[in-house]
Amino acid sequence: MDRERDGPGRDAAGAVGYRLFLDGYTAERLDRETVVVRHPEGARYRVDTLFATCTCGEAAEHRPCGHLLGYSALLCEQQAYEEAQVAALEARHDEWEMTLENDRAERILREMGVCEF
Ligand SMILES: [Zn+2]
């Protein structure tokens, strides 16, 4: 990394931008050009992806901000997390249904006197 060219501010903002998900930020795409990035404690920043602007203080002072640099990765990581959560819930539901079916089958067999459990 060329510190003269990139500067320490850019490094810091880039690092922040790529760890938004880990730091508990969430993002919501409002339309094609607008994403709202939420800090875990509630602050909201509106990122305009077309004009590369953000409503936070860093961007207002023309410094690179993590919201702008990281919103895309945040949206991807958030979606992957949500999909993993849904898959885990579906797997637990399938397992639960299988248990229910087994219990039902055992009861029927017991009532028929076919076998004892
Ligand atoms: Zn920002």
Alpha-carbon distance 47 to 64, whole Å?
12
Question: Considering the chain, what is the average pLDDT of its residues?
Answer: 85
Query: How would residue 14 be classed by pLDDT, with cut points 50, 70 and 90?
Result: low
Beta strands (DSSP E) in 3-108 are 26-31, 34-38, 44-48, 53-54
Q: At what angle do helices 3-17 and 66-112 cross, to 10 degrees?
A: 30
2 part of a folded domain: no
pLDDT tens digit sequence for 68-93? 999 999 999 999 999 999 999 999 99
Within a 10 A sphere around the Cβ of 65, how many other Cβ atoms? 25
How many angstroms is it from 71 CA to the middle of ligand 1? 9
In a domain, 101, yes or no: yes
Our count of domains for the chain comes to 1
Question: How confident is the model at residue 61, as a pLDDT?
Answer: 86
Whole-model pTM: value is 0.70
CA pair distance 85, 80, nearest whole angstrom: 9
Note the pLDDT of residue 17. 63
The percent of residues in the chain predicted with pLDDT above 70, rounded, is 83
Q: What residues make up the domain containing 104? A: 7-112
How far apart, in whole angstroms, are the C-alpha atoms of residue 35 and residue 15? Answer: 19
90 located within any domain: yes
**6 C-alpha to center of ligand 1: Å?**
18
Is residue 38 included in any domain, yes or no? yes
Spacing, Cα 70 to ligand 1 middle (Å): 9
Residue 41 lies in a domain: yes
Domain annotation covers residue 71: yes
Question: Whose CA is closest to 43, among 72, 14, 23?
Answer: 23
